[in-house]
Amino acid sequence: MIKVGIVGGTGYTGIELIRLLYAHPQVEITAITSRSEVGKSLSELVPSFFGLSDLKFQEPTLEVLAQCELIFFATPNGTAMKIAPQLLDAGKRVVDLAADFRIKDVATWEHWYGETHACPELVTEAVYGLPELNRAAIKNARLIANPGCYPTSVMLGLLPLLEKQLVDPTRLIADTKSGVSGAGRGANVGVLHAEVSENFKAYGIAGHRHLPEISAILNTLLPVQQVQLTFVPHLLPINRGIHATLYAFANTDTDDLTALYRERYAHEAFVSVLDAGMHPETRAVRATNHCVISVNRVSKQQIVVLSVIDNLVKGAAGQAIQNMNIMYGLSESLGIDAIGLLP
């Protein structure tokens, strides 16, 4: 059994991690931590665990986390980087679900996140945890930078086109929408029910922290870094889900794009490619680790890709567990092979 700890177990992502790991046949949740809820039981804060677990929240100290082999950080940006070096020195493995290690250029990270990086020496070592791209490196990693939710949906949608250099990388558009759980569980007027219900809005148009993450990873697919991406996120009045509508301009006459995508993802357990003309829906992936994609050539030049994921699972907790499974040589889908909920 893998003894795991979860730092930041009271937010939506942390709770999702606990939910999925609780049912994982090769995992023992050894510690859950929260600075604000120390001493409270998991079932007291998350009623769905009533009668199932006697775990209590503890302070995220090195002594507590030393009991674990692998530690997940479901914490705000800037938290994992302060503790990860000591955990790694102690022989632990770390999966950070925040952004501390996602961007290799430290100056770029500091610009977008507004603080000095606490351990820049580890940024180079960290493996970007998108299994469909970095599976071999993930296997032997001790530090994983779990991708953001928007980046996961966008990158899986664009990877096949950029890997084959079939589109103009300077004319990419990502029109993305997320459910309100992506904003976190903290009190925020902007995500109150009365503010979000029957409403739809864009945000972060002038610049969003996920833009440099997406651009940097997509640039690694090209011989020369030249990705220029227009990225516009929107807030949907739903709890879960991301829908990315991606626009690209073809530089070849390749017709059967669906076949191209199916070939690229043929051996991926969590990526499904629909027939051309079909439209994936967020409810199809609700509470699952799946990404569903369709790709359509709408004119000789223009390609439209639709990509949907659950922001809390494939966009966060599920992908983190997928990375853990790879790191420990387990079946990649172990513990995260659920089918979507309907309704």
Which residue numbers are catalytic? 149
Q: Where are the alpha helices (DSSP H) in the chain?
A: 12-22, 42-45, 62-65, 80-89, 106-113, 120-123, 131-139, 149-163, 193-196, 210-219, 257-264, 318-327
The sign of the dihedral angle between the CA atoms of 10, 12, 14, 20 is: positive
Q: How far apart are CA 228 and CA 109, in angstroms?
A: 18
Q: From residue 106, how far is each of 70, 112, 123, 248 by CA, in Å?
A: 25, 10, 8, 29
Is residue 7 within 8 Å of 30, Cβ to Cβ?
Answer: no
Tokens in use for 209? 């922290």
Q: How far apart are CA 42 and CA 18, in angstroms?
A: 10
Residues 6 or more apart whose CB falls under 8 angstroms from that of 292 comprise 271, 272, 273, 274, 280, 284, 285, 307, 308
Tokens in use for 110? 């500091």
